[in-house]
Amino acid sequence: MKNAISRRKFFYKTVGISAGALVLPTIAGFKFQEKSGGIKPMIITSHANDLGQKAMETGWEILRNGGSAVDAIEKAANVIELDPEDTSVGYGGLPNERGVVQLDASYMDGKTYSAGAVACLENIKTPASVAKLVMQHTDHVLLVGAGALEFAKAWGFQEENILTEKARKIWLRWKEEMSPTDDWGAPEHIQNLQKKESYWRDFPDIEHHYGTTNVLAIDMNGDIAGCTTTSGLSFKLNGRVGDSPIIGAGLYVDNEVGAAGATGRGEDVIKSCASYYMVLKMKEGRAPQQACEDALKMIIEHYKIVNPDYYPSEKFVAINKYGETGCATMKGNRNPQMSVMTSKGYSRYEGIIAFQGK
């Protein structure tokens, strides 16, 4: 085991910046802004595609008109949740192993130190909005399953079938490949052609095989809010809850510091309280970029004794109260990106692959 650890290829790129510097260099596509006064308003999402841009433009309209970060992130998240083509979030999200879409979402308001979340919510397209209501209208933080649905309906949300045809077909294809020996198995003549996860090859247009979105914003008053919303891991066990609705895991916001959010395998993020950790790191003076990398490193360190070659699939995003940004992923073929919108317009910031397995 000792040898295995020392042989491990440990590829860790650090960002050469010192906390407290006034003007920070541009590294790997990041623009580090001046700290004095900070950048506000601003809004970011971990969705770095066209849909992410649309979401940012929607949130930005609210922010630039003096609206709150709390309201801007909801409208931005709703854009992604309501898109039937996005298979990772809200309506159109991939279902659990039983073919049922169960959504998780969390919300946090840095100004009032309040939070709300829903988990395993079925039949409602916009779980971020329900999480916001839990935050604003109850003394609780997390509602799950039937209770979350009852709460949503009480607030006028319409129960709908949120399993799209596209998501249903992907789920069926997955199920078909689960066994070559029973009725769900693939036809005999193609069994030998089957490879794990070949169902994705039948759906080449799908950008996200799993996924989540984090939306973080600072409004004109300098108040910070964030939300995380997801359909969770595809084909998860019925009732499984990921990190997204767990405050401190999939999301954390502190008005005095900044905000952080996570996507990727939620089990690792829950155990590491990764979003809280990132905010804590920023409080200690680390830049958002460094905080994202710190959290990834911390997770790898925890697994080192058990499996030195294990690199989970997390992607972290963070902002601090000055409007500096960070984004890092554990591994991958291309650098992670996120969408950012400020008064300078929309841009896609490229983050860093902090670690790379062998």
Is there binding between residue 242 and ligand ASP (CB under 6 A)?
yes
Is there binding between residue 233 and ligand ASP (CB under 6 A)?
yes
Listed residue (134, 90, 358, 356) closest to 228, CA to CA: 90
Is there binding between residue 230 and ligand ASP (CB under 6 A)?
yes
Nearer to ligand ASP by Cβ, of 248 and 266: the residue is: 266
Is there binding between residue 264 and ligand ASP (CB under 6 A)?
yes
Which residues on neighbouring strands pair with residue 345, listed in sequence order?
342
Contacts of 7 (CB under 8 A, 6+ apart): none
Nearer to ligand ASP by Cβ, of 258 and 266: the residue is: 266
CB of 263 to ligand ASP, least distance (A): 4
Torsion angle in degrees (nearest 10) through CA of 144, 149, 151, 155: 140
- Choices 136-144, 228-236, 276-284, 329-337; region in contact with ligand ASP by CB under 6 A: 228-236
Catalytic pick among 45, 212, 325, 342: 212
Q: What is the DSSP string of 266-287?
A: HHHHHHHTHHHHHHHHHHTT--
- Residue 332 has which token pair? 């991958």
CB of 266 to ligand ASP, least distance (A): 2
Residue 345 φ then ψ, to 5°: 110, -165
DSSP state of 62: H
DSSP state of 190: G
Is there binding between residue 45 and ligand ASP (CB under 6 A)?
no
DSSP state of 134: H
DSSP state of 146: H
- Residue 78 has which token pair? 């709703």
CB of 319 to ligand ASP, least distance (A): 19
CB of 213 to ligand ASP, least distance (A): 9
Nearer to ligand ASP by Cβ, of 21 and 237: the residue is: 237
CB of 265 to ligand ASP, least distance (A): 6
Active site residue 212: yes
Nearer to ligand ASP by Cβ, of 103 and 225: the residue is: 103
Nearer to ligand ASP by Cβ, of 95 and 264: the residue is: 264
Residue 91: left (phi > 0), alpha (psi -120 to 50), or beta?
A: beta
Listed residue (239, 208, 242) closest to 228, CA to CA: 242
Nearer to ligand ASP by Cβ, of 143 and 218: the residue is: 143
Which residues on neighbouring strands pair with residue 162, listed in sequence order?
none
- Answer for which of 211, 226, 261, 336 binds ligand ASP (CB under 6 A) is 211
Is there binding between residue 232 and ligand ASP (CB under 6 A)?
yes
Is there binding between residue 212 and ligand ASP (CB under 6 A)?
yes
Listed residue (97, 55, 99) closest to 73, CA to CA: 55
Is there binding between residue 92 and ligand ASP (CB under 6 A)?
no
Nearer to ligand ASP by Cβ, of 242 and 258: the residue is: 242
Cα gap 225→27, rounded to integer Å: 26
Residue 80: left (phi > 0), alpha (psi -120 to 50), or beta?
A: alpha
Q: Segment 297-356, which members bind ligand ASP (CB under 6 A)?
A: none
- Choices 107-115, 177-185, 237-245, 321-329; region in contact with ligand ASP by CB under 6 A: 237-245
Strands 352-353 and 325-329: parallel
Is there binding between residue 199 and ligand ASP (CB under 6 A)?
no
Is there binding between residue 292 and ligand ASP (CB under 6 A)?
no
DSSP state of 15: P
Is there binding between residue 93 and ligand ASP (CB under 6 A)?
no
Catalytically active residues are 212
Binding site for ligand ASP (CB under 6 A): 210-212, 230, 232-233, 242-244, 263-266
